[in-house]
Every structure is written in C-alpha cells, then in structure tokens.
Amino acid sequence: MFTKILIANRGEIACRVIKTARRMGIRTVAVYSEADAGARHVRLADEAVCIGAPPPRESYLVADKIIAAALATGAQAIHPGYGFLSENEDFAESCAKNGIVFIGPPVAAIRAMGSKSEAKKLMEKAGVPLTPGYHGDNQDPDFLRQQADGIGYPVLIKAAAGGGGKGMRAVDRSEDFLDALASCKREAASSFGDQHVLIEKYLQRPRHIEFQVFGDSHGNCVYLFERDCSVQRRHQKVLEEAPAPGMTPARRAAMGKAAVDAARAVGYVGAGTVEFIVPQGDAQDGTFYFMEMNTRLQVEHPVTEMITGLDLVEWQLKVGAGETLPLQQEQLTIRGHALEARIYAEDPDKGFLPSIGRLIHLAPPAETLHVRVDTGVEQDDEISPHYDPMIAKLIVWDESRERALARMLQALADYRVVGVSNNIGFLSRLVACPAFAQADLDTGLIERERAFLFPEAAEPPAEAWLVAALSELIRDQQYAAAEAVESRDPFSPWHARDGWRLNGNARREIRLRAGETEKVVNAGYGAGGFTLEFEGRHTTAAGRFAGSSELRVDLGGRRINVTVVSANEKRHVFIDGVSFIFAAIDPLFHAGSGGGAEGGLTAPMPGKVIALIAVVGARVEKGAPLLILEAMKMEHTITAPAAGIVKAFHFNVGEQVSDGAELVEFELGKT
C-alpha cells in the first residue's frame, strides 16, 4: 500500500480523499493555486504545494506542475478526484512515465471513453444498447443539421469530450439548430479544448440512471448498484439517490450486466460510472440506452457508499496499489435508501446565477449515522469566482425512501448559510415537491414543476418580523453591557438599556425592511422583557443569545429556538426551517436619490465577454439577447430589459469584466 499520495484537485473531493487516506495511515500532499492558499483541503493535508495562479489553466490543469510536486514530495501515487485532469489521458500517461501510480483507469480506457463518439462506437460493438443518433467525425454545421433533421426533433447536441452539462443543448426546431450548435462548440472549446459534438435523439421525459462499476488489474469487475440522477437543471445533476425508485431485480441485473460489459470492453480498472437513459413509459419492457461512461469517481458516489456500507475511495487506493477487489458481486448488498443534495452558492430566483463572497456564517447540520456533509469550505472561507461554487454535498440515509426524504428535509432546515446566495430553500421545495416525493422522476421535473418550485416571493410572517426586532433590542442591551464593563463607571445609569424614564418607561421604534416592504415594530420595555406592537397586535417578548447567533425566544408564551445572523445592516433570520433577510434601517440616515443611469446593463458577476449578439444601433424587443458572458465555466446571456435601442458595448469579445461593470449602453422605449 502507498505511504504517501498527492491529490490533484481541490475543494470537497480533496478533503474527502484526505479523510480516507488518513484513516488508512497514508500521508497526503495537497496542491493549491494562489487563490486557495488558505483553503480547507490545504489545511487538512500533511503537506501542500502551490502550483500557480488562480485560473485553472495556470494551476490545476497544468500537468507538469502537478507531476513536479509529486516528485518533489515523494508521493508514490496521484489521486485526481473528479473534474480537472481526472479523465485526461496525457496526464495519466505522464504519471506512468515518471513512475507515479495514477489512481484511476488505464490510459487506454480513458482514451476509449474520453470521446462520447468513440465510446458509443465501442459500446455498439460490445452489444450495449445505444440512443439513436449521429456519432461520426463529420463536423460540418450543415451536415450536422441534416443529421438532426433525419433523426427527428427534438435532438440533443453534446460535446464529445464533455461532462457536467457543459457543451450541451436541446434543440426543438431545425431553424434553431445552427445557433445552438455554435453555442455548444464555444462552450465545449472553453471547457474541454475540443469542439467535437455528437447528435442524439432527445427522449421526452427520460430517467437518468447510472451504475457504479469497479474493476481491478486481476480481471475482476463488479457493479455496486445504481443511482437515479434524473433531477437535473441544464443537464447538471441537482438531487441524486440510491437505489433508483421502482427498480426491479430483473432490470437491475440487466443494466448491471450491461455496465460491467461496457467496463470489460475497455479493460477497465478502478472506479467508473456507466450512465444510461431510460425512456419514459418503458419501465415494463426494460428498455435502456447507454449514454456515456465517466472514467473517474463521481460527485454523487456518497449515496452508493451509504447504501452499501463501503468506502469507494478506500477501494480506489487498494486497487491502485495492485490489490484485488475487496468483494465479489454476490457479496454486495443494498441496505436502505440514500439521497444527496448539492448545496451551491447560487441564486435560484435569478436563473441560478453563481454567487461569490465570504461565508460570514456557515453552520451545517450535525453529522450522524443518518446525515453526512462532504465539504471543502468552512466559516470565513471565500467562494471564489475561479471555481465551481459548491459549498457542500449533503447526504442522508435511512431504512426507506420515505424516511430518507424526511431526513433530508430536516437536514436542509438545519443548514445555515450567510454571506452568499444559496439554493437551500429551493432544494427544500424540491424534496417536498409531490412529484419528487411520489418518485415521478424524469430529467424535466424541475421545469414541469416550476409553479411549485419557484413560487411568488411571500412577505415574511409576523413572527419573523418580531424575532428580527427582538434580536435588535437584545443585542443593543449586550453592547451596552460590554461598553459598561470597559468604561470608568460601569454602574452609570447611562449604560442601561432598560427603557427607564423619570415619568415612565420609554418606547422604541424598530424599523425593518424585507425586500421592498418596510415595517415598524414598536417596543415597550418591561420587567424581564419587552412588549412588541406590530400591525396593531401586542405581544410579550423575551430572549437571550446562546453564542453569537442562536437565540432562545419567548413570544407570547411560545418558546422557540431561532438563528439570527447580523451582517452589516442585514439580519438573517432562520425560523422553522425557513430563512428571511431583513435590513435594519437607521432612522438618522437618509440615502440620496442617486442611482445608475436608466437602461444600464451590468455584469451579474466577474467573467469574460465571449460574444456580442446585438448590433449597435439596432432596435430590439424585451428579452432579446445582447451579449454572452462566460462565468464559472458556463455561458450567461445578457438580454434586453425592455424594448429599446443598443447604443454601445463597453467591452469587446475576449475582455474580462468585473462584478457590476456596465456592459451595454441601452436606451429604453424607442422601438
């Protein structure tokens, strides 16, 4: 077994590998970019080596720097994690040439499965069923459109070297094909350095079911059952679960055999995932199609670990060291049900736009036998614009799917994130969605359940306003007490915040704003607490902070535990599993009436302009695409806010823009 390994990755997967390596007595070496100098994976590793500037192409994607770090530190093997160089055949080959074990499949297997087109040709020879489509080498746009026309719409354009939903577009009409193709090729070139695409029939309401496979260098190969990854957004997985709901033993055996056949066809060694697509309505006849094989560990591997009781990273390390698989197929069993939710720094109400910034407050649910949190960040860490904005993976397990869903809802309700926008509220609605709860699954679930998942913003309940006001009053008393201790006269009545006045108790006005709504809570001081008046109703209130943010509250005799986090003028109130954001308004501050120029369009986050769509001087309608910004490896189309005229672009193609930079000069209402 290895005594030291280098992990050629960052974030939660690097931390995940370190955890298993430490348990096995294996020392670890982390690599990091300048932006990750203080990152959690660097703090956890036994050693760490800086490999360059923040952009991945100058650090995490530079194979020579990683190989040099491994040689310099005496690492015997490299674990690539997932993403970055994990499926790069040249990197795997370079490891071998330098006498370093690549903890992954052989170079030939990566090469065979690295191109979706070539992989499908190989699977066809192996007898694995394929989705109808064109997987050839002719990349002429008109030829590809002819192929799509022949397949029949809708079709799916997919980057041959792709993954993670990048370089992928669904097309419903022939006249939209060329624009979608151009967008796919741009994204594929940016993400994978390869514009090659394939065309497939886009199946209506399919399920996405993948099988975990594992092979060793002694000819053994098994499948560790399936994961249902049907719940997706823009072809990126959002919720995963294992086993797949409704999976029969016969169908599991057939799909498992196909997965192992696919792995054996390329002489596979290590952890891999064979992904299948299952047409809607074909559950009875058992139809399924090979989609692709990922020659690495998957983001969602924890759900497989939870239902099998196995550590897949431990298996990787053992197989990488030349050992045989720890178990054979007949020894593998399923117990219970597991779900994984990806906690992202993103704003679901703004098209899931990634969010960056410091994690001012980060409190995940407590880890137990039923709840697991895999993360690469801690409180006060930064979500950087350079990398994927994942905060954590939240994994739960229980004896049945119904009980696992309840576990997930409670764990999401217990999650506290302040400092960046996040998708926790969206995930809670998704798990509670009747379609998901009833296992009515397909890759279009999020779109078809939009009314449930994206409700109109509701005003916070009265209880939340009262808690926010009470927290202001209690913190005010705490500050006064702290000032008194530090003063020359700690017993001076001027330090008191008890509302005492010569002719009676004083009252205080707490002014708060939630969104565009501003309201006032009037507070009266009393023995041991307050009387709060809100919208004509009076409520007795008292409370105390346990720590910096946990608040024990008594409202009118009802005792509740809440969290209130102060961040500048904002108050983040977490109550009954829901979070609300209030702004505390200082009545002595009067903001000016200035603002940005009407019609100015700004960058929602740092990125690079990759295409100017509109023509300067053109009259456009509301929603017309103006330019395309690439940020966090994804394309974001900036559209016209209303009918008007494009007056000027402030940046050229290829130029970097900062968050909030004005991109377009736009004149409203002149069409």
For 185-197, the DSSP string reads HHHHHHHHS---E
Contact partners, residue 383, CB within 8 Å, separation at least 6: 345, 355, 356, 357, 358, 359, 377, 389, 391, 420
The residue type of 305 is E
Task: Report the distance separating Cα 61 and Cα 66, nearest Å.
Answer: 9
DSSP 8-state assignment for residue 460: P
Task: Report the distance separating Cα 315 and Cα 294, nearest Å.
Answer: 17
Task: Report the distance separating Cα 381 and Cα 276, nearest Å.
Answer: 37
Contact 239, 437 (CB under 8 A): no
Q: Is 60 helix (H, G, I), strand (E, B) or coil?
A: coil
Q: Which of 608, 609, 637 is nearest to 625 (CA)?
A: 637
**77-79/4-7 β-pairing:** parallel
Is 296 in the active site? yes
- Identify the residue whose tokens are 């191109």: 115
293: burial class by Cβ within 10 Å (0-12, 13-18, 19+)? buried
Q: Which of 648, 576, 585, 579 is nearest to 612 (CA)?
A: 648
C-alpha triplet 237, 351, 189: angle, nearest 5°: 65
Q: For 152, phi and psi rounded to 5 degrees? A: 100, 135
Q: For 385, phi and psi rounded to 5 degrees? A: -75, -10
Q: Which of 27, 169, 296, 571 is catalytic?
A: 296
Q: Is 303 helix (H, G, I), strand (E, B) or coil?
A: helix
Starting at the earlier edge strand, list the strands of the sheet with 625-631. 634-639, 625-631, 607-612, 656-657
The residue type of 521 is V
DSSP 8-state assignment for residue 130: B
Q: 566 - beta bridge partners?
A: 571
* Catalytic residue positions, numbered: 296
